[in-house]
Amino acid sequence: MLLEEAVSSGPMFFSLVPWMVCFPVIGLLINMFFGGMILERSKAGEKIVGSIASVAVGLTFVVAVLQAISLMGHPEGQVVPLADWITIGDLSIPWAFQVDTLSVVMMLFVSGVGTLIHIYAIGYMHEDVRHNGDPSRFRRFFVFMNLFIAAMMILISGSNYMMLFVGWEGVGLCSYLLIGFWYDKGKDGIGNALAAKKAMVTNRIGDFGFLLAAFSIFYLFRTYDFHTIFEKAPEVAAQNPGALLFITLCMLVGVTGKSAQFPLYVWLPDAMAGPTPVSALIHAATMVTAGVYLVARSAELYVLVPTAQFWVTLVGAATALLAATIAVGQFDIKKVLAYSTISQLGFMVAAVGMGAFVAGMFHLVTHAFFKALLFLSSGSVIQGLERGHHHVEHDPKLKKLLKGHAHDFDPQDMRNMGGLKDQMKITFWVYLIGAIALAGIPPLAGFWSKDEILADASKEFTWAYILLTIAAVFTAFYMTRQILMVFFGKPRTLAAEHAKESPPVMTVPLMILAALSVFGGLLNLPFAGFHNFAHWLEHTLGELAHAGEFVPLVALLSTLLALASIGVGYWLYHPRRYEQFWSAPAARRPDDPLRSYIGPVFDVLKNKYWVDELYWSLILNPYIALSRFLADVIDWRFWHDWFHDKVITGGFNLLTRLLAVRIDLGGIDAFFNGLATLVQRFAALLRQVQTGYVRNYALMIFVGVVVILGYLLLR
Amino acid sequence: MLADWILFIGLALVAVGSALGLLLSKNAVYAALNLIINFVTVAVFYLTLGAPFISLSQVTVYAGAIMVLFLFVIMLLGAERLGSGATLPWQRPLAFILGGILLFEAIYAILTRATGAGVPDRVPATYGSPATIGELLFSVYLLPFEVISILLLAAMVGAIVLTRKHDRAR
Amino acid sequence: MVPIQYYTALAVTLFILGAVGVLIRRNAIIIFMSIELMLNSANLAFVAFARVREALDGQVFVFFIMAVAAAEVAVGLALIVAIFRTKHNIDIDQMNSLQG
């Protein structure tokens, strides 16, 4: 309210909005065409390439800020058309940008967090390309990252479902390209490529749902434009409620694909094969939020179909709990964060399913801050470990101590870490801040957003409230486990002992994100006078954007449960106990102290409920068998070998033999040969007249004379 | 009248007889001599038909020149006698049959188609005389006359070319 | 005057005899002589018909025929002489190399 009153009718920068897409595109084009040259010619080539990309995203952020400023004066927003894209009959899909409070929220944090991640990536990729042995791939990374930003901008600023879909597909493509960035590395040399493929295919299944929804929308509404659809929605719902249910459920399929909910979440943990900035940007902060944005944008459709809302909430809450439990049994630092992302996305999806759109978007923004922070910090940790490993490998004195230090030393396995709080101080503190925010401890940002969701749930959806609260408990537990295993205790490997802190180009963005995680809650404190975010979104969502109430009981309960969970985690994993646990000889020691308490259940969690294996045996293997059957048996054996070779070729050969031998040789040749023979015989016959005797000739003449004379006389 | 008939019949018999003699004699010289007799007989016929110039030129050219040429060649080639092996069995019988048929046809034609136009008994004195023939020859038939001269020239040249000896390489 | 049919009949007879002679004889010179006989018989017919019509054209024609016959004899006998040089006989049955 304060902000609004300050700027009554301010400047308008709406027409600048196409630049949000143009800046990243220009950045990527410059890097694509000149990046190679820059990298070769200049010593600071990498810094230049990375800066070009970061500046492009930074400029996008500036434009987003300008849009926000414009909106403060003109809160109803504006649709900025750029060009007519498709016009066929009565279908018109323009390329138009919708600048309203909802899309600007997305624009701001995507470009803002994106800029920070780009800057961080300059430092991270500098080490990563050397670690993987291909420095020339540096600019490829930034080209793809800019492409991603461009696609994401299209997604969130589109004024119709088709433009949104263009962006949707674009971010899917970039996700594929970036997960498989090190396409020749990974397990067996194709592990990363397979992960990228998995992401693409699973996303595609979600896209199928999205497309079904889109086409049904066109069928019902004859347009893709948001405004028109939301206006007509109530009357269409009255006439044809089943259709609207179908549309919203199909959209839910798209959401489960893009935002990694059950059952299509399986690509996200595998996507950790990509470089850490990718995981941070795409798979934590931005792309995966596209699904939540879709539901929020289509809010007016969802509120008309309570059944769909139920399903969305169920999927979200169930996924939140499922993923949180799986995260407990993971040892890879990034996998824990991946499942944590899935779980938090479940929170968001449940929130928008319940109709708490403000709470969902709020959590989306705060989650972007602290999840990006956590991922980037984990990247810092991993690289610190790699630096330590490198140092150990190249120091002869230390190497002797190792006696065969594993070549498959995994710098991401938490069991190889420990004691890093002393080696990597900055990383430790920011990571701690991020973890506390995620666990939902006040007064950090995570608490406020998660609490609003829980408060809204407790009012009408008690079952969801219970599921989400349990998920929150697990969240606190696994983050405690992670912090303790990674940063506390004694270093468990030589690499951890010699880990080094990351350079400022990486740590400064981390600190900025940490600050945002601490103070981000101010966006929407649930107290009168502070509901800025809710008021902001009201302009777009109308009365659907209700301000969340502060329910003290819920807040207190969730805080206490979180603290208790942290306590349990500390009791299990505190440094001394863990050191004791670890000191037992490797052969007899189980992989985790938790195993002694829950035994075989830990296996279930560690193996992610065997969901991937289930998919393989139920869907993928039969599908592969079917395609093999179709290819080998039907296509090759039947179609090619039998039909083509025997029937067609054989038949053709038969026909040609018939024509050649029987008809051509036998018939036609025989005829003409016979004709020639006939002529020959006749000629031979006639030749006998030429006796050579002149007297015979004379006789013949005489005969002729006699005959003619006789004829003339007798006439 | 009767004298005409007797003359005619007699001469006719001689002519036919000599023709038969030509046909049947094995000796080429005898055949030639028979032919000469035939020519002379025909020359006499020409006289009866009122063609004195023709009859005498017949004797001169035919009997005198052509037959002499024949005799020269016969002597040159030494072909007085020739053996006869009948190589063509059907030739002789067929020739006679056909000859008979033709004769029969001819007689038939003459007897049935004859117009019976009378032959004038008397002809003018200049009929058949060299002067009259000469007049005709050099006025109406001048072109054939000249052509005949060229023909004779060609015949002379041809005869010499054909009988030229080729033992020298030319 | 003997009716002209008799002269014509005589000419025909001589012609036939000449024709038969061409057909029967194997000696080339005799054949040639038979041909002369045939020409001669034609001459007789010409003169006879000239007499019938009381015109002299027939006789002029006979004149020409005689000239032609003379020329023909010259060339023909030259041919026979030439053939005799190679074949050393004049049996026309021996000259059948143009048979088919």
Helices (H) and strands (E) in chain A, counts: 33, 2
List the chains bordering chain C where 3 or more Cβ pairs fall under 8 Å. Answer: A, B
Task: Tell me the C-alpha to C-alpha distance, in Å, between residue A194 and each of A172, A198, A264, A608, C90.
Answer: 15, 6, 16, 19, 110
- Residue A411, pLDDT above cutoff 70: yes
- Of the two residues A286 and A621, the one the predictor is more confident about is A621
Task: Decide if B110 and C12 are in contact by the 8 Å CB cutoff.
Answer: yes
d(CA A530, CA A540): 18
Query: B124 preceded by cis ω (within 30°)?
Result: no
Residue of A198, A332, A262, A414 lying closest to A606 (CA atoms): A332
DSSP class per residue in A474-516: HHHHHHHHHHHHHHSSS-SSHHHHT--PPPHHHHHHHHHHHHH
Does any domain span residue C62?
A: yes
Compute the nearest-CA separation of C98 from chain B (Å): 16
List of domains in chain B: 2-81+123-163 (1.20.120.1200)
Contacts of B58 in chain C (CB under 8 A): 43, 66
Beta bridge partners of A92: A87
Task: Return the DSSP state at B27.
Answer: B
| Chain B residues touching residue C40 (CB < 8 angstroms) | 38-39, 42, 62
3-class SS at A97?
Answer: strand
- Cβ–Cβ under 8 Å, residues B21 and C19: no
Contact A172, A200 (CB under 8 A): yes
- Name which residue leads in pLDDT, B44 or A460: B44
- Distance between CA atoms of A337 and A478, rounded to whole angstroms? 10
Check C22 against A690: CB less than 8 A apart: no
Angstroms from B27 CA to nearest CA on chain A: 20
Closest CA to A316 of A304, A305, A306, A324: A324
Q: Is the pLDDT of residue A318 over 60?
A: yes
CATH of the domain at C49: 1.10.287.3510
Mean pLDDT of chain C: 89
Residue A577 CB contacts under 8 Å (≥ 6 apart), including other chains: A571, A593
- Which among A699, A705, A710 has the least Cβ separation from residue B95? A699
DSSP annotation of A546 reads P
Q: Cα A178 to the chain's mean position, in Å? A: 9
Residues of A in contact with C92 (CB under 8 A): 693-695
CA distance A604 to A681: 100
Residues from chain B that touch A693, judged by Cβ atoms under 8 A, are 87-88
Q: What is the amino acid identity at position A708?
A: I
For residue B84, which residues of chain C lie inside 8 Å, CB to CB?
26
> Tokens 């001048």 map to which residue?
B142
CB atoms within 10 A of CB A473: 20
Q: Say what the pLDDT of residue A101 is.
A: 84
Report whether A500 contacts A423 (CB < 8 A).
yes
Placement of tokens 């793809």 in the chain: A144
What pLDDT, in 10s, does the model give residues A205-238? Answer: 999 999 999 999 988 888 888 888 888 888 888 8
Question: For the residues A71-97, what does the mean pLDDT come to?
Answer: 83
Residues 83-102 of chain B whose Cβ lies under 8 A from any Cβ of chain C: 84, 87-88, 91-92, 94-96, 98-99, 102
Cβ–Cβ contact B87 with A under 8 A: yes
- Burial-class residue A434 by CB neighbours within 10 Å (0-12, 13-18, 19+): buried
Q: Do C54 and B159 touch (CB under 8 A)?
A: no
Q: How many domains does chain C have?
A: 1
Backbone angles phi, psi at A90, to 5 degrees: -100, 10
Q: Which two tokens stand for residue A543?
A: 């009365």
Q: Quick check: is C12 in a domain?
A: yes
Q: Is residue A406 predicted with pLDDT exceeding 70?
A: no
Written as six digits, the tokens of A652 are 């053709």
Residue C99 lies in a domain: no
Alpha helix positions (H), A133-160:
138-157
Q: Are A488 and A414 spatial neighbours (Cβ–Cβ below 8 Å)?
A: no
Do residues A415 and A469 make contact, with C-beta atoms less than 8 angstroms apart? no
Please give the single-letter amino acid code of residue B160.
Answer: I
* Tens-place pLDDT, residues A567-583: 988 888 888 888 788 77
| Rounded mean pLDDT, A582-586 | 75
Range of the domain at C42: 4-94
pLDDT at A680: 92
Residue A572 neighbours by CB under 8 Å, 6+ apart: A481, A593, A594, A597
Smallest CA-to-CA distance from B44 within A598, A583, C10 is with C10
- Establish if C13 belongs to a structural domain: yes
Residue C32 belongs to a domain: yes
Greater model confidence, C45 or A190:
C45
Which residues of C make CB contacts under 8 Å with A? Answer: 19, 22-24, 26, 92-93, 95-100
> Is residue A468 packed enough to be buried (19+ CB in 10 Å), middle (13-18) or exposed (0-12)?
buried
Instruction: Please give, rounded to a whole number of angstroms, the shortest distance from the CA of B99 to a CA of chain A.
Output: 9
The predicted model gives A336-350 an average pLDDT of 92
Considering only CB atoms, which chain A residues are within 8 Å of B109?
A: 709, 713
CA A51 to chain centre: 25
| Tens digit of each residue's pLDDT (9 = 90 or more) over A516-544 | 888 877 776 665 555 577 777 777 777 67
User: What is the ipTM, given to two decimal places?
Assistant: 0.91
Instruction: Using CB atoms, pick whichever of B94, B102, B105 lies closest to residue A699.
Output: B94
Contact yes or no for B94 and A705 at CB 8 A: no
Which residues of chain B neighbour A709 with C-beta distances below 8 Å? 102, 105-106, 109
Q: How far is C67 from chain A (nearest CA, A)?
A: 24
- A78 forms bridges with which residues in the sheet? A99
C100 within some domain = no
For the segment B108-121, the average pLDDT, to the nearest whole number, is 74
Residue predicted with more confidence, B124 or A323: A323
Q: Is B101 on the interface with A (CB under 8 A)?
A: yes
CA pseudo-torsion sign A392, A396, A402, A407: positive
Q: What is the pLDDT of residue A492?
A: 80
Name every residue whose Cβ is closer than 8 Å to that of residue A359 and which is 6 or more positions away in sequence.
A351, A449, A452, A453, A455, A456, A548
* Residue C14 covered by a domain: yes
Give tens-digit pLDDT for B3-44: 888 999 999 999 999 999 999 888 889 999 999 999 999 999
Structure confidence at residue C86 (pLDDT): 83
**Two tokens at A551?**
């329910």
Write out the two tokens for A666.
Answer: 């036998």
